[in-house]
Amino acid sequence: MTSWRRYLFEPLLNNNPITIQMLGICSALAVTTNLKTALTMCIAVIVVMTVSSGIISAIRHHIPSSIRLIIQITIIASMVIVIDQILQAWFFEISRVLSIFVSLIVTNCLVMGRTEGFAMHNGVVPSILDALGNAAGYSLILIFVASIREILGMGTLLGIPLLPLAEHGGWFEPMAFMQKAPSAFFIIGLLIWGIRSIKTEQVEAAKITLHGTLPMSATSREGGS
Residue 2 contacts other proteins per CB under 8 A:
no
Amino acid (1-letter code) at residue 188? I
Note the residue count of the chain: 225
Q: Which of 35, 41, 75, 119 binds other proteins (CB under 8 A)?
A: 75
Determine the straight-line distance between the first and last CA of the chain, rounded to whole angstroms: 36
Q: How many CA atoms lie within 13 A of 4 on its CB side?
A: 5
Distance (Å, whole) CA 196 – CA 220: 10
Residue 181 contacts other proteins per CB under 8 A:
no
Residue 69 contacts other proteins per CB under 8 A:
no
Q: State in angstroms the smallest separation of the CB of 30 from other proteins.
A: 16
Residue 74 contacts other proteins per CB under 8 A:
yes
Residue 78 contacts other proteins per CB under 8 A:
yes
Nearer to other proteins, 107 or 147 (CB): 107
Contact between 137 and 18 under an 8 Å Cβ cutoff? The reply is yes
Q: State in angstroms the smallest separation of the CB of 141 from other proteins.
A: 29
Q: Which residues on neighbouring strands pair with residue 157, listed in sequence order?
A: 160
Candidate ranges 67-75, 101-109, 125-133, 148-156; the one touching other proteins (CB under 8 A): 67-75
